[in-house]
Structure 1
Amino acid sequence: MLGGYHVKLWLLIGVLLLLAVAVLLLSSRIFFHLSLNRRGHDDQIVLDITALFGLVKLHYKLPALVFEGFKRGLHVKLEETGVAPVKSAKDEETNIDKEDVSEWIEYGKKALKATYGLRRWTAETMSHVQITKLDWSTNFSLGDAAGTATAAGALWGLKWTIIGWASQWVKLMRKPRLFVVPVFEDTVGFSTEVDCKGRISAGYALYAVLRLLVRAMQADEGIRQWKDIIREIRSRRREKSAA
């Protein structure tokens, strides 16, 4: 009798510990840091994702983004690394052409059809993303002082328009820092740098995934359609890699 009581006590303690760990993990946040640099013809995009109190770290680097003409399109090289429990280290190179863009648009249409209320789900999920830092600096020269000065004002307006549009989707936790620096030189030049940090609750991220699955099941054969989309994407990637 006493032995059975001890077994039940240890089971209860184990369940309570598992619940405590689950609550702790779900109450954590997923952090991301996106940086984009373009100087002349050199581009670099870096994305870092940290989750579960640093147990999961993903690093994506796009060191090559070169336009190779209308036929071959945009040449992209992607470097991916990660640490435990998600371990990965791989490099991928591909070309994005007009055909790829058309296919992505078709995949988007199919995803909308395969998921009930996908637009609303996207808007609600993005509204829980908090942007804690957003710096955007641009230096440029049009080779003409008058033209550069005029373009500087237009660029200011364009930046604030983009920020206003983005604020309808995500939460800006602090005022963005925008810089436009006209360079009065006789040569044409352009460089821009974006530094963005943000976060989202891990619990809400999991909830959003579960809602997406439910919405897919609510659509007519939604799960089957999603499987077909994923199968098509994988098949297309294999064909492109073999080419």
Structure 2
Amino acid sequence: MWIVTIIVIVILLLIAVILFSKIKVDVWVRKKGKDDEVVFKIRMLYGLIRLHYELPMLKIENLEKGIKVEVDKSKNIGQEKEAHNETQVNKRKVDHWLNVFHQILEATESLKAWLEKTLSRLSISKLEWSTHFCAGDAAYTAVASGMVWSTKAFIVGWLSHHVQLKKSPRLFVVPTFDDHPHFTSEMSCIVQISCGYAIYAGLVLIVRVLKVKGGVKRWKSILSKA
């Protein structure tokens, strides 16, 4: 009897530890001239599970071909990359994604409300975004500086209404007045959500799908094509 009690207590403690743990996503984006790099580091269960994604290249070829994207994936930071994928993001693919999103909306009851509630449980503990640039002309650089500040302020304002900002974002815009155009932007962001709420949100999403007639079938079709 005591052994069974101890096992039950241990199981309950493990479940509590999992539910109260955090899912942490560290995003780092850097753009310098023609060089681009996007890195995602995901940590779960106190670092026992780690995922690492890299987008070493975002190359805009032309309006028809769109953006060429390379993705490297590895399970743990420091390990060799497991997979290297390359894809082309163009207007046709964006239209396809929009069509998929509309299908998901139709297959899920009140998906927008679910998204808003889930976003409200996200917390951003770090947001630093610096931009250094020169347009090659003093007047153009001054105008562009104001536009960059406005864009950043708009994005931060939107975030403040939809997610929890634990710390004030650190935003920098540094215009350089010289004759050589250049652009460098770097952003670092840490997003967190509790594992317990992530599981709860997943269960709520499943219930919302079940409430729609044919919702499960549509989701299976969408996931199989993805």
TM over 0.5: yes
Letter paired with 2:118: T
Matched, 1:141 2:134: yes
Alpha-carbon distance in 1 for matches of 2:16, 2:9: 10
Matched, 1:89 2:74: no
What per-residue deviation string (whole Å, max 9, x for no partner) do you get for residues 18-49 of structure 1? Answer: 11100111111111110100000110000001
Specify the alignment match of 2:113 in structure 1. 120
Provide the aligned C-alpha RMSD in A.
1.6
Gaps of 5+ in 1: 1-7, 234-243
Indicate the SS of the match to 2:162. coil
What is the aligned-residue identity percentage?
Answer: 38
Matched, 1:37 2:48: no
Letter paired with 1:56: I
What per-residue deviation string (whole Å, max 9, x for no partner) do you get for residues 122-174 of structure 1? Answer: 11001111000100101111111122123212321221111101211111001
Checking the alignment, whether the CA contact within 8 Å between 2:52 and 2:76 is kept in structure 1 is no
Indicate the SS of the match to 2:74. strand
Alpha-carbon distance in 2 for matches of 1:172, 1:77: 31
Matched, 1:150 2:150: no
Letter paired with 2:41: D
Specify the alignment match of 2:189 in structure 1. 196
Alpha-carbon distance in 1 for matches of 2:211, 2:81: 34
Larger radius of gyration: 1
Offset, 1:88: 7.8
Alpha-carbon distance in 1 for matches of 2:150, 2:178: 23
Indicate the SS of the match to 2:167. coil
Matched, 1:161 2:145: no
Q: How does 1:200-215 map to 2 (within 5 A)?
A: 200-215=193-208
Alpha-carbon distance in 2 for matches of 1:200, 1:90: 27
Q: 1:38 to 1:24 in 2, by over 3 A?
A: same
Alpha-carbon distance in 2 for matches of 1:31, 1:43: 23
Alpha-carbon distance in 2 for matches of 1:140, 1:16: 58
Q: Which of these residues, 6, 12, 17, is aligned with residue 24 of structure 1?
A: 17
What per-residue deviation string (whole Å, max 9, x for no partner) do you get for residues 174-220 of structure 1? Answer: 10000000011112211111010121101000100011101100111
Indicate the SS of the match to 2:82. strand
Gaps of 5+ in 2: none
Runs of 4+ in 1 over 3 A off after TM superposition: none
TM-score after normalising by structure 1: 0.88
Specify the alignment match of 2:179 in structure 1. 186
Q: Which of these residues, 69, 75, 95, is aligned with residue 68 of structure 2?
A: 75
Alpha-carbon distance in 2 for matches of 1:21, 1:139: 48
Specify the alignment match of 1:174 in structure 2. 167
Specify the alignment match of 1:58 in structure 2. 51
Number of residue pairs the alignment of both structures matches: 224
Alpha-carbon distance in 2 for matches of 1:27, 1:88: 30
Q: Which of these residues, 121, 131, 135, is aligned with residue 124 of structure 2?
A: 131
What per-residue deviation string (whole Å, max 9, x for no partner) do you get for residues 49-100 of structure 1? Answer: 101011100000000111122332211110011149xx98211111112111
